[in-house]
Amino acid sequence: MKEKLLTYTQLILYVFLVISCVTEFQPDPVSVPPSLIIEGEVTDQPGPYMVKLTRTADYSYKSLNLLETGAAVTISDNQGNQETLTELPSGGTYQTRANGIRGVVGRSYKVTIKTKDGKQYESDLEKLSTAPPIQKLYYEYTVEPTGVNLAKRQGWNVYLDTKDPETTGNFYRWTWTHFEPISVCYKREIPGRNVLTGLDCCSPCWDINRCYTCIDISSDVNINGQAISRQFIMRVPFKSTSRYYLEVQQQAISKGAYEFWKSVKGLVNNTGGLFDAAPAAVQGNVHCVNDPTAVAYGFFGATGLSEQYIYVDRSGGQEPADFDPPIEVPQPSACVACENSLYRTPNKPRWWTY
């Protein structure tokens, strides 16, 4: 599993915040019992795969989740193959070896977790299915009719075409990742001026952008065996006239994963009203086997992947673009190392051509 994945931790946090929207009525503080959050999957692409564990803090600590360190994490399949993951130095993230267990279409996978407090968690078995290939990835330039800022109203809608297999019971999820080349790795605002100051990157570097609350899923219940055309992926903003590099992932997920993401999507999109569903509806497929009162959130999946990239040509946009504030870099200056994280990488994207 790569760092592309939409993180369950961020979604669960988002859900808690939405459910707790401030209104004129001020109820007593809600206490969320410490609960384990699991995010991870096995795919039919080479590893390493990662499993991230966090634990919810008390509700009074808003937006804070604690890393679950020191756990024993094992991924196994229904053929008797298994691997115990290694915890990374940053803590809370557990990883397989690069040449370790590999997802195979047709096999089923689960994760087993034993935490430091002696609780043992186990996911349901998930069968890994093949994702149909992306047949076409394309974009269209549009100008939205409302709003006064022309630059903000312009954009390029990205669409995908594929074909559902003749077999029934196929479920899909679509995600995207944008890599933006940057030359400045540290920046801060200059008080009183609409400019930034910063320091150069010591090496080639890319910012990584995703939509963490975008949940695009579908099933073949009404379209079995038919073409899936003009599946909307995302809208490219007009913030530059340079080409926009985008990687799109089409995922073949299980019915259980589809129902999980459907529940999460409903909670993310709700209004936080009195009769909205509670976050407990997104517990997922992981359960504590030796303590039925212990609650776990998240989903461990087995996912088939089909991936493709596209460069969006933005040179045809109507000037001016919605540029970010300029950055002043003092000369000469020290440089800043390009960190390797969920949001930035020194590693060239796989299909990068310039």
Residue ranges of the chain with pLDDT lower than 70?
1-32, 57-65, 270-281, 331-332
Strands 296-312 and 227-237, sheet pairing: unpaired
pLDDT tens digits along 300-331: 999 999 999 999 999 998 878 887 777 777 76
The 8 Å CB, 24+ separation contacts for 256-263 are 256/124, 256/126, 256/285, 256/299, 257/126, 257/171, 257/173, 257/285, 257/299, 257/301, 257/303, 258/171, 258/173, 258/217, 258/219, 260/284, 260/285, 260/299, 261/173, 261/215, 261/217, 261/299, 262/217
Instruction: Give the whole-angstrom CA distance, residue 1 versus residue 52.
Output: 11
Chain centroid to CA 186: how far? 24
pLDDT of 18 reads 44
Q: Where are the alpha helices (DSSP H) in the chain?
A: 8-19, 150-153, 255-268
Name 117's Cβ contacts closer than 8 Å, sequence gap at least 6. none
pLDDT of 6 reads 45
pLDDT of 169 reads 92
CA atoms within 13 A on the CB side of 313: 3
Instruction: Give the whole-angstrom CA distance, residue 46 versus residue 104.
Output: 10
Q: What angle do CA 245, 250, 256 make, to 5 degrees?
A: 140
Which is nearest to 164 in space by CA: 205, 243, 223?
A: 223
pLDDT tens digits along 143-180: 988 877 877 889 999 999 999 999 999 999 999 999 99
pLDDT of 25 reads 44
Q: What angle do CA 75, 79, 84 make, to 5 degrees?
A: 20
Q: Which two tokens stand for residue 154?
A: 């312009």
Q: Please report, in angstroms and rounded to a whole number, the separation of the first and last CA atoms in the chain.
A: 26
Which is nearest to 217 in space by CA: 259, 165, 178?
A: 259
Instruction: Give the whole-angstrom CA distance, residue 253 versus residue 222.
Output: 17
